[in-house]
Amino acid sequence: MTDENAHLALKKRRTTLKSSCTRIRTYVDSVRDVFASVAAQLQERRLKLDQYWSEYNQIQLNLELIDESETNDRATFEDAFYGLCAKIRELLSPSSFTSRNATASPSTSSVRELSDNTMHVRLPKLNLPTFSGSYDEWFPFHDNFNSVIHTNVSLNNVQKFQYLKASLTGDAGNVINALEMTDGNYAVAWTLLCERYDNKRVIVENHVKALVDTPHIIKENAKELRKLADDASKHLHALQAMKCPTAHWDDLLVYILKSKLDKVTLREWQASLTGTERPTLKQFLDFVAHQCQTLEATDRSGGNNTKNIGAKHPPSDKRQSSCAATVKINCYYCKGNHSIYNCKDFLALSVSRRISEIRSRKVCLNCLRATSHTSAKCTSEQCKVCHQKHNTLLHLESALVETADKNASKSEDSKSVSASSTVATYSSDPITNDNILLSTALIYVPDSEGTLMPCRALLDCGSQANFISSKFLSMLKINPRRVNMSISGVGGTATTSTRAARIRVQSRLSSYNADIECIVTDSVTDKLPACSFSRGSFEFPRNIKLADPRFHESSDIDIVIGTEIFWDTLSVGRIKASSRHPAL
């Protein structure tokens, strides 16, 4: 490039810089009132003006080396530059704020006075935004603090630092605790926070995880349905603010959220769908809102029935579940944990000795279980041999064959022995027609690392909730979550549980599996059956695989599967080996 061309290029660049400075002067001259937003603009233009000066100085120096007559332009530009800088500094000074407010036009003062006289409104004091270190809270905190404090030109950096420290708690506060409260450290503290928590990947993962881990609703309840919809909307809005393409996620979100519904609501959702079109998320949320209104209007869940539940506890943590009661039988003869019909010591006695022992304990001679009535008033079955008012075990003529028939006389009323616990169970000798065995199954439950752990489950269609023993949960190494649940049984007996866990149950014999929410208790029920017995008298079809091959062995129950998935676990149809054997 020749000297002449270089000279022309420099002059052209100088003209461009002057035009930029002229536009800044035009803006400054147009300023009448200095508000926070105007002050921020003036500050930015002041910084830009300094950059223009540095660049102009370099260009002008080169021009003066080529042509000495260019020195006159420097003097003109310097006068305009310093005058503009002085005016900006004057506008940004605290006194300028005061004087401009004091010299407001008469019309403005009159309007303000009129407003003050007619509207005596005391606005509430704005609290500082707070941040504890949760990634979900970062963006709301960042936007609020940035708007109220960080960009506030009326505050110096030390004041901003004080406000920042007062806003932080927990882990967030620890990030900047080591910094001294100085003017220069405020920018360092703000940068540290942004670098630590402005992690879009983690924040998106947290919101998606919250959607997937939405708690399952056990029983239709207006408050829990509303919470499900509100939480889903909250996380979706947060994801939308981070530019995630949630508009294309309807199919996935509808599937996730509908899987959290209780059985009744899920059935009504399916019934509301027509045709083969895919439902949208808006359609699902509108359905949930309609269900909530219906429940609240009919007081089934959202009215009087729930006001006591949510009166003192958060609605998401307070639940009530009902279950049947376990019958715990105590032998009148030896005080063992079994019925007198299964007592080996009692059955070893002669018939006359049995009668003597029963009479000495003032127990009914007919049912062998009650002390509140005599045999004459007993409503249980009579002796199966002579049909008189005494139990078959006390029939004297049966003494010669009592060893063979000692268990054939159990009354069907023995099923109603009074006691209480968790799941209704009745203990009888398996070779009688009156035998009742509860449904048990050996299944698999994956632990926290995915390893399949065998466990024994009780299938109880009379329980509204699922239960897991704390011993088995510790074996799974799954961390429970905090809840506050009331568990009621027969006769209104109630207890509480403060822990719940979500597990997956998996069949040994098929591909069936399901995720269920379990209440954690120290012991879900007593050992089942109450006493072990021989399974030699049972003849099962060879093509049948038992869900619990050891049903005859008295052992611990690890989990109780309630009505939530009870019917899903049953195979199609029932198989009856004979009239004297249990149904399969």
The answer, yes or no, to whether residue 47 has pLDDT greater than 90, is no
In the numeric block, which tokens belong to residue 560? 């109780």
- What is the largest distance, in Å, between two alpha-carbon atoms of the chain? 144
Where along the chain do its domains lie? 3-92, 135-198, 202-296, 340-394, 440-568
Task: Tell me if residue 446 falls in helix, strand or coil.
Answer: strand
pLDDT, mean of residues 322-347: 70
User: What is the C-alpha separation between 34 and 38, in angstroms, rounded?
Assistant: 6
pLDDT score, position 519: 93
CATH superfamily, domain at 440-568:
Acid Proteases (2.40.70.10)
Task: Tell me if residue 168 falls in helix, strand or coil.
Answer: strand
pLDDT score, position 528: 84
pTM for the predicted model, two decimal places: 0.33
- The position carrying tokens 């089934």 is 300
The answer, yes or no, to whether residue 308 has pLDDT greater than 50, is no
- 517-549 tens-digit pLDDT: 999 998 888 888 878 777 776 777 777 788 888
Residue 339: Cβ-neighbour burial (10 angstroms; 0-12, 13-18, 19+): buried
**Confidence class of residue 442 from pLDDT cuts 50, 70 and 90?**
very high
Q: What are phi and psi of 124, to 5 degrees?
A: -65, 150
Instruction: Give the other-Cβ count within 10 Å of 406's Cβ.
Output: 18
The answer, yes or no, to whether residue 576 has pLDDT greater than 60, is no
Which of 142-147's residues contact partners 24+ apart within 8 Å by CB, and which partners?
142/194, 142/197, 142/198
- 465-494 tens-digit pLDDT: 899 999 999 999 998 988 887 787 766 667
Task: Tell me if residue 112 falls in helix, strand or coil.
Answer: helix
The answer, yes or no, to whether residue 125 has pLDDT greater than 80, is no
- 498-515 tens-digit pLDDT: 899 999 999 888 888 889
- 269-289 tens-digit pLDDT: 888 888 788 889 888 999 888
**DSSP letter string, 333-383:** TT--SS-GGG-HHHHTS-HHHHHHHHHHTT--TTTSS-SSS-GGG--S---
pLDDT score, position 137: 79
User: Which phi-psi region, left, alpha or beta, contains residue 169 (left: φ > 0; alpha: ψ -120 to 50)?
Assistant: beta
Regarding predicted confidence, which is higher, 429 or 292?
292
